[in-house]
Structure 1
Amino acid sequence: MTARVARTGVLRQPGTVLFGPGERRHLPRLLAEVGRHVLVVTDARMAGVAEFEDLVAAVEARGITVSVFAEAEPDLPRENVLAVVDRYRGSGVDALLAVGGGSCLDLAKVAAAVLAHGGDIRDYYGEFLVPGPGLPVVTVPTTAGTGAEVTCVSVVFDREKGMKVGVASPHLEPYAAVIDPELTLSCPPSLTAATAADALTHLVETFTDRVKDVTPEFLAGHLYVGKNPLTDIFCRSGLTLLNSSMESVVADPSDIEARSATMLAAYNAGMAINTAGTAAAHAIQSPIGALTHTSHGFGVGALLPYVMRFNLPVRVAEFAEIGTLLGVADPGSAPLDRAKAGISRVEELLETVGCPTDLKTLGLRPRDFSHVADQAMRATRLTANNPRDLTHESVVEILRRGWDDDRTWWSV
């Protein structure tokens, strides 16, 4: 009997990951390995938190010179990258420490590349266009959801282009990630909810992604190489963690165990999307976010019920397993029934954290459906991951159902 050969497994990850309450204590040692003048990238809110001041003091006590850029903005505008590069090019900065949410982490990763190689961030829009390693980056997330602490992708909002653009390169991979759940205790409830919705969407999308033929040539030119056995491990772990922690962290934001579980789930999600990639919900949310100025996490969460229904006909087995992982599938029922139970539980988790589950609530207008579909179809790096082929017409139908809160089951 011939043994069945598993599909190709592919994984990208930082060189070091430290996880757990209080693990920020390792930062001085990690930074001393790579730099003598560290630029700390954060935002105004985090810069005023006592834990941040203590962190900077501990790094300085190691004999490291510290500069702080505390002007990172949500949705990472290109202007933030220009400001960092203009201010610190030629300053002797030789490593970066990113402390904050996804925009802070993404800013540090792309700034490290431009500081090392010159030019404008626009030179690196796309895949595999960063010519070599940037300055070393250590990431410290203060939210549980984006996964940016372990990914080699940054998303930049280019106002002149009117759209978000990805910079995707293995050279953006952080040197190390330090994931300390204590740093999320000061995270506002609305941000906690939005980032949790983002993590849940990452896990569902990557677990149901397209499976690709990962030839050496394909791997050399594409960051996102599809669902595979290694990313599935992270998806299963993350979904199981969020199934209980999402409800707990909303009920008691000071619950460090719930914070830890949610943050570990977000890390799992980051590890999965770093190789498999996100799909339709993320492609469609970007133009919606530009029009409505609503949060990324709530945007992808609001789309997820309708994207799941669109993809269900070609991913019954995966959604059925999600139903089992989330403890709602009757083992004796048909796969389609288990799959529907899994989708319903995902929606329940989104509603638990207060995520809108329709597009009308986001402020999207029907007259914008065609424009959103046009823009979404341009995000080929993401649409190529969706398990069911997307067209302009199918995106418009997803939007229509989402606007109407139409959760009937979609069939081919």
Structure 2
Amino acid sequence: MSLFGVIRAPRELVFGSGQRHALGQIAAGLGRRALVVTDERLASDKEFLAMLVHLRDAGLEVEVESGTLPDVPVTSAIIAADHARAFSPDLVIGIGGGSCLDMAKCLALLLAHGKSPQDYYGENLVPGPVLPIIAIPTTAGTGSEVTPVAVLSDSARNLKVGISSPYLIPTAAICDPDLTMSCPRGLTAIAGADALTHAIEAFSAIRRSPDAGIAQQRVFVGKNAASDHFALQAIGLLWEGLETACTNGGDASARANVMMGATYAGLAFGVAGTAAAHAIQYPVGALTQTPHGAGVACLMPYVMAWNAPTIAPELESIAQVIGVGSGADVIPAIADLFGRIGIPPTLRELGLAEDRIDWVTEQSCTIARLIQNNPRPLPAADMRRLVDAAFAGDRTILA
């Protein structure tokens, strides 16, 4: 097989303790009127306020949009874009968790091209460059600071939806693990488990024929040599740091490992894509109103068990990175880690009602871009087996 790789990334990615203090210098090279997107809680945080001072000291005019809501309801993005037009920003800065960064991407798109978010659902429907974006994560999970995706929630569809385009990759990302030091244990666990799921699904995604032009035709091309590198690095960093970051939030080394792991996982799945765990979580999350990271992590061991006959080499590689005996030991090791940091082990414990299993199965099968990215096919009958297993907590029925 010929060596093939794809990575798309910010023009500038700066990682390290204290790097948030470079925001003013970076922003001054991209614009003069900055729309800073965050949420209500962070808007009064002293570190956030200090970053606004850096921007103003660098000569930028600043407007703050602090109305970001969890999972970014589509209507909230439309309202925020309408308000921001009067300011006429030429730069958008997202500071916060994944929802804040996704909101920043969506606003940069709507301010550049107009219309509504619904007009851009899917892949490669953004017509051209958006406003420059600087992404500054304060949690370590989604990897949105480096990905081509903005995820929103659409009440009309009762599901999360995605806008996927390389144009949405931030121009610059500033990843300062100091900003995660105050992140509470529960959020650290959910975000970090989300990142580990991203890395595993990217590393075990389908491998497509590397036809010339595939990277222009698809946002998510499947696993490849470049994404594999970042995915494995992410798995190792998260395995090393996540549990410690949850039990000792003041451990700066663990926090840095988890943040770098989340960013590397974003670089990996930003081109390789995710798969069945994400497809099933979307309807499960809509029904249970549980955090995305908890849902995908709950599902990940069952999806890995289903895919195991197809991903044996990948499991062996993961075993080496995390230091367990063989590929057969990887799935229970991942499940045990998730259990230790508080991820619910079954869909039942996540809050899914048994009488909604059929609906979850049907909805999961409709998310074609994710199901087609899964390395082992999942026709409807097998999808039902997988959802049943995750509900009952029995991976053996997938053998």
TM-score by structure 1 length?
A: 0.95
Residue of structure 2 equivalent to 1:135: 131
The separation in 2 between residues aligned to 1:114 and 1:213, in whole angstroms, is: 34
Q: CA deviation digits over 1:267-306, x for unaligned, max 9?
A: 1100001000000000100110000000000000110111
Please list every run of 5 or more consecutive structure 1 residues that lacks an aligned counterpart in the other structure. Answer: 330-337
1:25-174 aligned at under 5 Å gives the runs 25-174=21-170
Residue of structure 1 equivalent to 2:332: 344
State the shift of 1:362 in Å: 0.8
Q: Is 1:318 aligned to 2:306, yes or no?
A: no
**Is the CA contact 1:196–1:262 (under 8 Å) kept in the aligned structure 2?**
yes
Q: Aligned letter for 1:257?
A: S
The separation in 1 between residues aligned to 2:398 and 2:227, in whole angstroms, is: 27
Q: Is 1:276 aligned to 2:272, yes or no?
A: yes
Residue of structure 1 equivalent to 2:379: 391
The separation in 2 between residues aligned to 1:56 and 1:186, in whole angstroms, is: 20
Q: CA deviation digits over 1:204-229, x for unaligned, max 9?
A: 11111100113234322210000011
**Is the CA contact 1:101–1:143 (under 8 Å) kept in the aligned structure 2?**
yes
Q: Aligned letter for 2:354?
A: P
State the shift of 1:407 in Å: 2.6
The separation in 1 between residues aligned to 2:32 and 2:69, in whole angstroms, is: 27
The separation in 1 between residues aligned to 2:363 and 2:395, in whole angstroms, is: 24
How many residue pairs are counted as aligned between the two chains?
399
**Is the CA contact 2:184–2:249 (under 8 Å) kept in the aligned structure 1?**
no
1:200-349 aligned at under 5 Å gives the runs 200-329=196-325, 338-349=326-337
CA change 1:365–1:151 in 2 (3 A) is: same
**Is the CA contact 1:326–1:345 (under 8 Å) kept in the aligned structure 2?**
no
Q: Aligned letter for 2:391?
A: W
**Is the CA contact 1:358–1:402 (under 8 Å) kept in the aligned structure 2?**
yes
Q: Is 1:363 aligned to 2:363, yes or no?
A: no
**Is the CA contact 1:224–1:276 (under 8 Å) kept in the aligned structure 2?**
yes
State the shift of 1:409 in Å: 6.4
**Is the CA contact 1:366–1:400 (under 8 Å) kept in the aligned structure 2?**
no
**Is the CA contact 2:67–2:80 (under 8 Å) kept in the aligned structure 1?**
no
**Is the CA contact 1:370–1:396 (under 8 Å) kept in the aligned structure 2?**
yes
State the shift of 1:403 in Å: 1.2
Which segment drifts farther, 263-272 or 86-95?
86-95
Q: CA deviation digits over 1:359-405, x for unaligned, max 9?
A: 11111112111111121122111111100011222221111111111
The separation in 1 between residues aligned to 2:8 and 2:154, in whole angstroms, is: 27
Secondary structure (helix, strand or coil) at the match of 1:44 reads coil
The separation in 1 between residues aligned to 2:240 and 2:58, in whole angstroms, is: 40
Q: After the TM superposition, which segments of 4 or more aligned residues of structure 1 sit over 6 Å from their partners?
A: none
**Is the CA contact 2:385–2:398 (under 8 Å) kept in the aligned structure 1?**
no
**Is the CA contact 2:389–2:397 (under 8 Å) kept in the aligned structure 1?**
no
The root-mean-square deviation of aligned C-alpha atoms, in Å, is: 1.1
Q: CA deviation digits over 1:311-332, x for unaligned, max 9?
A: 0011111112211211011xxx
Q: CA deviation digits over 1:308-354, x for unaligned, max 9?
A: 1000011111112211211011xxxxxxxx22201111112211211
Among 7, 22, 25, the residue aligned to 1:11:
7
Secondary structure (helix, strand or coil) at the match of 2:348 reads coil
Which segment drifts farther, 84-93 or 291-300?
84-93
**Is the CA contact 1:312–1:410 (under 8 Å) kept in the aligned structure 2?**
no
Residue of structure 2 equivalent to 1:373: 361
Q: CA deviation digits over 1:42-72, x for unaligned, max 9?
A: 1112112110011111111111111001111
**Is the CA contact 1:125–1:167 (under 8 Å) kept in the aligned structure 2?**
yes
The separation in 2 between residues aligned to 1:107 and 1:391, in whole angstroms, is: 34
Which segment drifts farther, 343-352 or 168-177?
343-352
Q: Is 1:175 aligned to 2:171, yes or no?
A: yes
Identity level (%): 41
Please list every run of 5 or more consecutive structure 2 residues that lacks an aligned counterpart in the other structure. Answer: none
Secondary structure (helix, strand or coil) at the match of 1:198 reads helix
**Is the CA contact 1:324–1:342 (under 8 Å) kept in the aligned structure 2?**
no
Secondary structure (helix, strand or coil) at the match of 1:285 reads helix
Q: Aligned letter for 1:308?
A: M
Q: Aligned letter for 1:161?
A: R
Residue of structure 2 equivalent to 1:194: 190
**Is the CA contact 1:46–1:100 (under 8 Å) kept in the aligned structure 2?**
yes
**Is the CA contact 2:98–2:137 (under 8 Å) kept in the aligned structure 1?**
yes
The separation in 2 between residues aligned to 1:340 and 1:367, in whole angstroms, is: 33
Residue of structure 2 equivalent to 1:335: none
State the shift of 1:124 in Å: 0.6
The separation in 1 between residues aligned to 2:360 and 2:189, in whole angstroms, is: 25
Secondary structure (helix, strand or coil) at the match of 2:309 reads helix
The separation in 1 between residues aligned to 2:74 and 2:312, in whole angstroms, is: 40
